[in-house]
Each structure stands twice: as structure tokens, then as C-alpha cells.
């Protein structure tokens, strides 16, 4: 049973946010669990225009992506959380590049543990609260919930931006059957800036706030299982796993600060390897460098395919 108490939902909200901060999350915002009416036509059009490429899973569970109550029956609140991954050290200049989010331990494992702790705190403090944790693990529109919860606005590159810390962070959620105080969205501060659109090596940002996923370097180097189309030869800017160009050029990311999560620290070889060393990497060394990394998603064969395509 949920504890009978006169403590208002405002106190629950404050204690949840304080615990999220203690666990190392950058910020925590909360929104009402309801159908995402504005996002529905956008998602439908994006899928109809085949901007998801070969990511067929994006076509699945359309209703669940838009309605959290179908994922967690009886849910009342979506608790959105940001976790910083901006590194203190970067890869050596002139080498093949890996997206910063994949430098250390796979974020799924790191964040899932923190979400478990936060959920345990909620049930310990409040009583019988039912909910589920999500880290890219189900059809949840993370960015939509983050913006609804006031954690930032959707940039023209479709990453969530915050005036305080930019965009180098992971987004995760707890969807719970507990009513809380809800935050309000913040205003868009992209203005007339088109830095991300202008810098995208493959012109994947086809219009402000619209990314054609089937043209994105991250899609080619991670999601695509077949050969990379020759039409894109010479356009990869040395990215062998993922791509950070649209974030690197964003003026708001000058406010990015290094994370404090030891598990996100990279294997030293990831930072120091030259192009030649990457070209000659063996499967054994690949397994060592990326032992617990998200890079393992593309497998050794996939990374070598990417390197051979761009070298």
C-alpha cells in the first residue's frame, strides 16, 4: 500500500528531484503521462517519408511510442532525466573518430542501475508505486518527453538543447503511476542559427528540426547492416562510429562540462590510436578496447567495414 500521508505531491516531486541529483543526473523534469498529440503527425510523416531507412523497428508499436499509458497501464507521470557524457579528453587529432557517447561503458548499463536506485528510493519513501525504467529499451520518444518536462528545447539538429549544458547527455525515463507536480516546456533558443544544418557532412538535416535518418553518418556506421552506399564516399569526415558534427558546431555546447562518471572514461587506446593502428586492429584488440562499450553493437566486422569505407 502507498503510505497514507498528508504530504503533498509537491514534497514527493522535490524529494525525487533531489535523489536524482544525488545519483549524478544533470537534471530531472516531470510531465503528465498522456498521448503525445503534437508528435503523432510528425512521427507518421517521418515514417511515411522513409527517413528511418532500414530501422524497421521504428515502424513498430506506433501507439505505444505516443502514449505512455499503453506502456505502463495506470501511469500518471513521466520522470525524464539527463546524464552528462561529455568527456574531459578527446581522441587524438587526425584519427578515425568515435561519437563521444560511446567512449566508455555502454550507457544502457550505467543508467539502468541509476534508474533502479531511483525507483527503489521512490517506493521506499512513498510506498507502493508501480512503474518502469526506460533507456532506449522500449518505444519511448525520449526527446519529446525531455522537452515537455522543461529540460531543454528541440534543436534544429533534433537533439535536446539546454542553455546551461548544451546537448551532450543521455535521456532516460521512469514512467510511474504516481501523480506529481509537472514542469513546463522552455522556449526555443536556436534563433536564426543554422550551424548544424550547414555543417552536416551528408546533408542529413533536410530542414530545421527534421533529420533524414537514412542519410545520417550515425545510421550508416551503426544501424545499417548492409554495405554503405557508394554515393556517400568521401563524406564521412573520418567518423567510424557515430557522428558528433551537428553537436560539435552548436554554439550552446560551448557550455558543456566534463562528466563525473568514472564508467564513462575510455580505454586509453581509444584516445591514442592513430589511423594506421585502427586500420590494423585485430578482433582481439577490438574486444579489449570496447569490452563494455556501445561500439560492440557494430561488431568488429562492422567497424572494419566503416574504416575501409572512409580510408
Average pLDDT, the chain: 92
What is the number of structural domains in the chain? 1
Q: Where are the alpha helices (DSSP H) in 127-274?
A: 142-148, 195-199, 217-218, 245-248, 268-272
Q: Has residue 192 got a pLDDT over 70?
A: yes
CA angle 203, 294, 199 (to 5 degrees): 20
What pLDDT is attached to residue 8? Answer: 81
- 252-285 pLDDT tens trace: 999 999 999 999 999 999 999 999 999 999 999 9
Report which DSSP code applies to 99.
Answer: -
What pLDDT is attached to residue 311? Answer: 87
The dihedral through the CA atoms of 147, 150, 152, 155 has a sign that is: positive
- 16-49 pLDDT tens trace: 999 999 999 999 999 999 988 888 777 777 767 7
Q: Has residue 225 got a pLDDT over 60?
A: yes
As given in the structure block, the three cell numbers for residue 32 are: 503528465
Say which range, 59-63, 130-134, 207-211, has the weakest mean pLDDT: 59-63
Torsion of CA 63, 107, 196, 275, to 10 degrees: -130
What pLDDT is attached to residue 45? Answer: 77
- List strand residue ranges (DSSP E) for the chain, in order: 27-32, 77-84, 97-98, 131-134, 153-154, 160-161, 169-176, 205-207, 210-211, 239-241
Q: Has residue 6 got a pLDDT over 50?
A: no
Residue positions annotated with a catalytic role: 136
247 closest CA partner among 238, 239, 256, 257: 256
153-154 and 160-161 beta bridge pairing: antiparallel
Q: Has residue 1 got a pLDDT over 60?
A: no
Q: Could you list the residue range(s) of the whole structural domain that residue 292 is in?
A: 1-311
Amino acid at each position: 500500500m502507498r503510505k497514507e500521508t498528508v504530504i503533498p505531491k509537491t514534497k514527493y516531486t522535490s524529494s525525487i528531484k533531489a535523489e536524482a541529483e544525488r545519483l549524478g543526473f544533470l537534471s530531472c523534469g516531470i510531465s503528465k503521462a498522456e498521448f503525445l498529440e503534437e508528435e503523432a503527425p510528425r512521427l507518421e510523416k517521418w515514417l511515411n517519408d522513409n527517413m528511418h531507412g532500414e530501422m524497421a523497428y521504428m515502424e513498430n508499436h506506433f501507439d505505444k511510442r505516443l502514449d505512455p499509458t499503453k506502456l505502463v497501464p495506470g501511469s500518471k507521470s513521466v520522470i525524464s532525466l539527463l546524464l552528462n557524457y561529455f568527456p574531459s579528453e578527446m581522441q587524438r587529432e587526425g584519427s578515425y573518430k568515435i561519437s563521444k557517447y560511446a567512449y566508455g561503458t555502454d550507457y544502457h548499463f550505467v543508467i539502468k542501475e541509476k534508474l533502479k536506485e531511483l525507483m527503489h528510493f521512490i517506493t521506499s519513501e512513498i510506498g507502493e508505486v508501480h512503474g518502469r525504467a526506460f533507456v532506449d529499451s522500449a518505444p519511448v520518444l525520449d526527446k519529446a518527453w525531455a522537452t515537455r518536462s522543461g529540460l531543454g528545447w528541440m534543436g534544429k539538429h533534433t537533439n535536446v538543447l539546454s542553455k546551461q549544458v548544451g546537448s551532450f547527455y543521455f535521456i532516460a525515463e521512469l514512467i510511474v503511476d504516481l501523480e506529481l507536480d509537472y514542469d513546463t516546456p522552455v522556449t526555443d533558443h536556436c534563433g536564426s542559427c543554422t550551424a548544424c544544418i550547414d555543417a552536416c557532412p551528408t546533408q542529413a538535416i533536410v530542414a530545421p528540426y527534421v533529420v533524414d535518418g537514412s542519410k545520417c553518418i550515425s545510421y550508416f556506421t551503426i544501424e545499417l547492416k548492409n554495405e554503405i552506399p557508394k554515393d556517400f564516399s568521401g563524406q564521412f569526415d573520418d567518423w567510424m562510429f557515430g557522428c558528433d558534427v551537428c553537436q560539435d558546431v552548436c554554439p550552446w555546447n560551448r557550455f558543456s562540462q566534463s562528466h563525473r562518471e568514472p564508467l564513462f572514461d575510455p580505454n586509453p587506446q581509444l584516445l591514442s590510436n592513430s589511423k594506421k593502428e585502427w586500420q590494423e586492429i585485430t578482433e582481439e584488440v577490438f574486444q579489449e578496447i570496447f569490452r563494455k562499450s556501445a561500439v560492440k553493437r557494430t561488431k568488429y566486422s562492422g567497424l572494419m567495414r566503416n574504416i575501409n569505407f572512409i580510408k
